[in-house]
Chains A and B, each alone.
Chain A
Amino acid sequence: MAKKEKKQAAEKPYKKPIIKKRKPNRSIAGDIFLYLFLILVAFIMAFPIIYAVSSALKPLDELFKFPPRIFAQHPTMDNFSDLFVTMGKSWVTFSRYLFNTVFITFVGTAGHLIIASMGAFVLAKYEFPGNATFFKIVTVAMMFTGYVTQIPNYLLLNKLGWIDTYWSIIIPAFASPMGLFLMKQFMEGLPTSLIEAAKIDGASEWRVFRQIVMPNVKPAWMTLIIFSVQALWNNKASMYIYSEERKTLVYALQQIQSGGIARTGQGAAVLVVVMIVPILIFVFSESQILETMASSGLKD
């Protein structure tokens, strides 16, 4: 019976060339409806972001126009330059907040990438006692939010004397479980023969890691980077950092927004600065990130 069916299938081509792209179980009406629905949802999803960007570009008189327009009629960059000019006069300048955030994000992400990849490499490619147990614990750590550990972390950082320094944000970010998890899952797809070949040629483990493994998992780099940047760039850091001159951009954003209606334009401008960086990184590395996420599944 099955053979017969197979034969039939072999004789009569399953798809005709003209409708090659269409799958058999789809109706045209359904597809049109689907497209319309997706466009509508996409518009709803994008609207707040578009609105934020356009209000950052609006000059003052347009910001308070009623009824409001979605797009700025005379777009200007005044709000952005205001950030540096008016806030350049306050004792902690806007550029300082920007620097703090950039520094924390950059160092935290770089360290996380290196440390998590090193751990992921041995977890994925070597058998050793404690291997599976450790990975299981890391997986469990993904199941609760950072808020659970915030108070003991605070006490610990206090003991270490890192409160009110950049390190209170940077060092814990190194150990984010998500990065290790994704990196390990992705490295498992790497052919073991590649590593063995390098070993036979006399490369040390460190060299294998640096010159064979890391260049081959570049897509996973981008994934770790986007998750780490997203977490650090949006870090308010108000719990661990008290000094005004070490506060981050998101904190400055809140300050500006609480400055009331006169600061609406600048608030929108900071909002754009805050959100544009993670989005841009994602836009430029989307295909690599999706490649990594394909191996993100949790197996039993």
Chain B
Amino acid sequence: MSNVNTKAVDAKDMNMFQKYVTLRKHEAGVAWKKAKARKMCYLFLAPYAILFTMFYVVPVVTSIYYSFTYYNILEPPRFIGLSNYISLILEDDIFLVGIKNTFMIAIITGPLGYILSFLFAWLINELPRWVRSVAVIVFYAPSIAGNCYVIFSVFFRGDAYGYVNAFLMDLGLIDKPILWLINPQYMLPICMLVILWMSLGTGFLSFVAGLQGVDKSQFEAGYMDGIKNRWQELWYITLPNMKPMLMFGAVMSITQAFGVCDVTMALCGYPSTDYAARTIVTHLFDYGFSRFEMGYACAIATILFLIMILCNKAIQSLLRRVGT
């Protein structure tokens, strides 16, 4: 009895399977025909697709592969399993310092920079046109001004001639100059300050543009429905309309926040005192390009990659709830 039953089920399964296969085959056939009909599209996409694969997709994959090997360029890579990761997390104290610093910087400057970008985009939104365009230039300039942040090393110079020191001594707040960029205590806060100064970047532009595009009639409808002040306007009308830009801005600021290295290297030196300003990326440079331990460096890169992607996914699912 049971035998018959299983046979029937088997037959049914087989039938289902065959149906599935034929369906898939059919779909593939249709796709192939479509692809053939659109040969031009692939030709157009090819140059970009090839370069993109070469410099973005393949590197990520090979980076994951090398992270399981010992590789110093001279000898061929040797498979060593997870030991790169194990020594990174269990033995490499400096890496943990780097992780800690990167997270400190990311957690403070990421959200704060994001909120500031939106806040200023929103505040300048209602200004007259020409004032707005001047304001956009002033706010956006620091982020495209390239290496302009090195000017902060003049402001925060450690001797009594550094402007911040001189200013604070004039006010009588301190009686001897502070070594801002050498004392580990002050390094990170100063770097964060500089990063915040530069944080009104691409996301900010996206917000400015997006706010301009919000349908004005929705506000009028909102006034009718009893929206009382600008905060309610913001939460019930502006933010829901801005969702795609908010997503884009979030991607930009997360990527920037975790990729910090230029500012810390330029201001605090490389390596910095006590590794107090070491970030994941500086650690990556150290092992990749100073010690040529490529496998180890790739493990760092893979961890960074995972952190960034996971963080982006988490923030995106959070942002989907805005205004609901």
Contact = CB atoms under 8 A, between A and B. Distances in A.
Interface of A: 5, 9, 14, 23-26, 30, 34, 37-38, 41-42, 44-46, 48-49, 51-52, 66-68, 115-116, 118-119, 121-123, 126-131, 134, 137-138, 140-156, 171-172, 174-175, 177-178, 180, 205, 209, 226-227, 230, 233-234, 239, 250, 253, 257, 271, 274-275, 278-279, 282-283, 286-287, 289-294, 296-300
Contacts, number: 270
Interface in B1-59: 31-32, 34-35, 38, 40-42, 44-45, 47-49, 51-52, 54-59
A34 B123 contact: yes
A271 B154 CA distance: 13
Contact of B209 (A151, A180, A271, A296): A296
Contacts of A26: 230
Nearest to A30: B230
A199 B233 CA distance: 46
B120 A41 contact: yes
Interface in B216-244: 219-220, 223-224, 227-230, 233, 243-244
Interface of B: 31-32, 34-35, 38, 40-42, 44-45, 47-49, 51-52, 54-60, 62-63, 66, 73, 120, 123-124, 126-127, 133, 135-142, 144-152, 155, 161, 163, 166, 197, 200, 202, 205-206, 208-210, 212-213, 219-220, 223-224, 227-230, 233, 243-245, 247-248, 251-252, 254-256, 258-259, 261, 281, 284, 288-289, 294, 297-298, 301-302, 304-305, 308-309, 312, 316, 320
Nearest to B50: A175
Given A48-B152, A151-B297, A234-B147, A5 B224 contact: yes
A208 to B, nearest CB: 10
A271 B208 contact: no
A295 B239 CA distance: 16
B56 A149 contact: yes
A280 B208 CA distance: 19
A150 B247 contact: no
Given A48-B151, A118-B47, A151-B294, A297 B245 contact: yes
A122 B44 contact: yes
Closest 7 CB pairs of A and B: A297-B244, A145-B259, A119-B48, A152-B59, A149-B59, A293-B209, A175-B51
A151 B244 contact: no
A32 to B, nearest CB: 13
Q: Say what secondary structure dominates the interface of chain A.
A: helix
Contact of B55 (A67, A172, A239): A172
Given A144-B255, A154-B288, A172-B51, 15 more contacts: A38-B120, A45-B197, A122-B45, A127-B38, A128-B35, A138-B52, A141-B57, A143-B312, A144-B308, A175-B54, A275-B145, A275-B146, A290-B136, A293-B208, A296-B206
A290 B202 CA distance: 10
A138 B60 CA distance: 13
Contacts of B62: 152, 155
A218 B249 CA distance: 23
Contacts of A275: 144-148
Given A118-B47, A278-B146, A290 B205 contact: yes
A253 B150 CA distance: 10
B243 A151 contact: no
B80 to A, nearest CB: 17
